[in-house]
Amino acid sequence: MNNKKILIVEDESDIRELIKYNLEKNGFQADVACSGTEALQKIRIKKYGLILLDLMLPGIDGIEICKMLKSDPAFSDVPLIIVSARSEETDKLTGLELADDYVTKPFSPRELVARVKAVLRCYAAKKPEKHAEEGLIKKGPLVIDMGKYLVTREGIPIDLSNMEFMLLAYLAKRPGKIIKRDFLLDAVWGGGAYIEPRTVDVHIRRIREKIEENPSDPKFICTKRGVGYYFTEEG
Amino acid sequence: MNNKKILIVEDESDIRELIKYNLEKNGFQADVACSGTEALQKIRIKKYGLILLDLMLPGIDGIEICKMLKSDPAFSDVPLIIVSARSEETDKLTGLELADDYVTKPFSPRELVARVKAVLRCYAAKKPEKHAEEGLIKKGPLVIDMGKYLVTREGIPIDLSNMEFMLLAYLAKRPGKIIKRDFLLDAVWGGGAYIEPRTVDVHIRRIREKIEENPSDPKFICTKRGVGYYFTEEG
DNA sequence: ATATTAATGTAACATTTGGTTAAAAGGCCT
DNA sequence: AGGCCTTTTAACCAAATGTTACATTAATAT
C-alpha cells in the first residue's frame, strides 16, 4: 500500500538505534544513515515515506540538506522532520520553515513516534487518492459506505470484519476486473505481509456467507478459475 | 497568553517578505508558506493566531483553502484575512463570506497591519461567546447541550469531565462516522498532544459508564474493531 | 463417459490482534 | 496536603485472522 519506509539521519549510534527500534516497534520500516552524504545517497536510490534528519551532522550541515531536499521537486514532497539538540527559538523557526515538524533533544521516543504519525497522517489527508477512499459504492442492492465501514443489502446492515470489509471494498471498486490472489494480498494486506494465498479464499468464503443469497452460487464476488476473483460488473 | 503567530500564505517572495517584515516590526511572529499545500501542512502542525491568505496561488486555489479551513472544526476558529490582487466585486463577496476581512493589492503595509490588529481585537472580544458552540444534539434519551456543556439523559443531568464532554460531543456530531483513535487525538486533544492511543479507550470507557445503561453493551458510543469508535446513527 | 488432476470451497483449529477493564501513577488546582 | 482529572500500564478476554486438512468442483485426458 503506502510507502512507510523512514530514513533516520543521525550520527550518534545510540540515538539512531533508539529511534529505529521505536519506529519498528510501531510498524514502520526504518533505514539509517550516519552522515549527510550517506543520507543523500540513500534518498536518491530509494523512495522514502518520511525523513528524520538530525541537524548536527559531521560534514554537511543538516540545514543544507533540508534546503536541497525541499528545492528539488523530486524530493520536496517527502515529509521531513528535523531532530536537533539546538533548542534556540531562531533555529526552530528556521527549521519549521523548511521541515514539516521539529523535535528537540532530548525527546521521548513516544513523542517522536507520535509526531511521525501526525506528519504522515497530515500528508495522507491531502492525497487525492485518499479522497477517493471516502464515499459510497453501490452495486444492485449492495451499498458499501467507505466512511462508515458499513455494508448494507437492501438497507439491511451487514456485519463484516475489518479485513472482510477491505477485501470486499477493493474488489467492488474494480468491478469486472479479475484479481489474482497474490495481488489481493499485496493490495489489501499490504506489501510486507507473508500470508498464504489460500487465506484469501477463506475470507472470500466468509464474505460470501454474509452478503450472498446463496454462498455457493455467488452473485457479487465471483471466481475466475485458475486466475482469481472479481466483483460482478452487472448492476 | 494569546497566540500571536501569523501565517502568511503568499507565492510572490517580495510581497511575502514585505508583509513579514511589517508584521514583525509590529511585534507579531510570522511564518510563511509559498503554496497552498505548504500552508495546509503548517496549519496542521502549528496553531496559528491568524492566517493571511493570498487567493492567487500555484496549485490549490485559495478559495478552496478557505473552504477547507472554515469547514474543519479544528481550524474554523482561526481568523482569516484574504489578500488578493483580484478587485472584482464578485470575488470580494465570495471572499468575505469565508474570511474575516479582505484586502486587495496594492495595499499599504500600514493598512494591512491595522486590519490584522482589528481582526484580532474583534476575535478577542468575541472569545467568550465564540467559546460556546451553540446547538443541541439529541439521540434518543440523550441530549447534549453544546452551549451549556451539559449532557442529560431523560432530563437527568450527567456529570462529565471536560475531556469526556469534548470527546462525546465530537463523536455525537458525526453520527455513524467511524473515527480512528489517531484522529480523535488530533481533533479532541489537539495536534500538539502526544498521547497514547490507548488513552482514548479509557475515556470512552468512562463516558460509557456514565451515559450507557450497560457499559459493556453500549448503545451510544460503539466500537468498530480494528478501526475506531463511532456514535450510533439510530435515534 | 469415466478417470485423473488441479483448483477451489469448506470447516475446524490455532494464533494473533485489539478492546476492555481495573488499578496505579502523574498533574493540576484549591 | 487532598481531591479531582488525566494518562499510562498491564492482565485478561473475545473476536478476527491465519493455517491446515479435507471435501468438492471443474477441466482435461483417456
Supply the CATH number for residue A18's domain: 3.40.50.2300
Find the mean pLDDT for residues A162-184: 93
Output the pLDDT for position B1: 33
Touching check for A133 and chain B: CB below 8 Å? no
Note whether A165 and A100 are same-domain residues: no
- B218 grid coordinates: 453500549
Find the mean pLDDT for residues A201-210: 95
Note whether A68 and A145 are same-domain residues: no
Note whether A162 contacts B40, CB cutoff 8 Å.
no
Note whether B17 and B126 are same-domain residues: yes
Number of domains in chain A: 2
- Pick out the nucleotide with least CA–C1' distance to A189: D17
Note whether A87 and A155 are same-domain residues: no
Phi, psi dihedral angles at A83 (to 5 degrees): -115, 125
Angle at CA of residue B49, ends B44 and B55, nearest 5°: 70
pTM: 0.66
- Pick out the nucleotide with least CA–C1' distance to B206: C21
Residue of A nearest to B34 (CA): A97
Boundary residue ending a domain (A81, A97, A128) = A128
Contacts of B224 in chain A (CB under 8 A): 149, 162
Output the pLDDT for position A1: 41
Nucleic strand D within 7 A of Cβ A203 = yes
Boundary residue ending a domain (B131, B155, B177) = B131
When mean pLDDT is compared across A90-104, A167-181, A201-215, B99-113, the lowest value belongs to A90-104
Enumerate the nucleotides of strand C whose atoms come under 7 Å of any protein CB. 7-12, 17-23
Note whether A41 and A109 are same-domain residues: yes
C-alpha dihedral over A175, A177, A181, A182, to 10 degrees? -120
Question: Strand C-proximal residues, CB under 7 Å?
Answer: A 198, 201-202, 204-205, 208, 215-216, 223-228; B 198, 201-202, 204-205, 208, 215-216, 218, 223, 225-228
> Rounded to whole angstroms, what are the CA distances from B216 to A7, A191, B199, B210?
43, 36, 18, 12
- Write out chain B's pLDDT in tens, 235 residues: 344 678 898 887 777 888 887 887 677 778 888 887 778 777 766 678 888 988 777 666 666 677 667 666 567 678 888 887 654 444 444 544 566 777 766 666 667 887 787 777 666 655 444 334 567 888 889 999 887 788 999 888 999 988 999 899 999 988 989 999 988 988 888 666 678 889 999 999 999 999 999 989 999 999 999 999 999 987 6
- B33 grid coordinates: 508558506
Which residue(s) pair with B99 in the sheet? none
Note whether A82 and A185 are same-domain residues: no
Please report which helix (H) or strand (E) contains residue B223, including its range: strand B221-224
Note whether B13 and B115 are same-domain residues: yes
Note whether B116 and B169 are same-domain residues: no
- A212 grid coordinates: 450472498
Greatest mean pLDDT among A63-72, A109-118, A195-204, B138-147: A195-204
Boundary residue ending a domain (B77, B107, B131) = B131
Note whether B48 and B103 are same-domain residues: yes
Note whether A227 and A144 are same-domain residues: yes
B31 closest CB neighbour out of A97, A114, A150: A97
Mutation site for A-interface testing, chosen from B40, B44, B64, B229 by largest number of A Cβ within 10 Å? B44
Note whether A167 and A109 are same-domain residues: no
Note whether B39 and B112 are same-domain residues: yes
- Which residue pairs, CB below 8 angstroms and at least 24 apart, start in B102-107? B105/B15, B107/B83
Output the pLDDT for position A57: 79
Question: Which CATH number covers residue B211?
Answer: 1.10.10.10
Residue of B nearest to A80 (CA): B41
CB atoms near residue B187 (< 10 Å): 18
Output the pLDDT for position B172: 92
Domain region containing A102: 5-128
Note whether A96 contacts B42, CB cutoff 8 Å.
yes
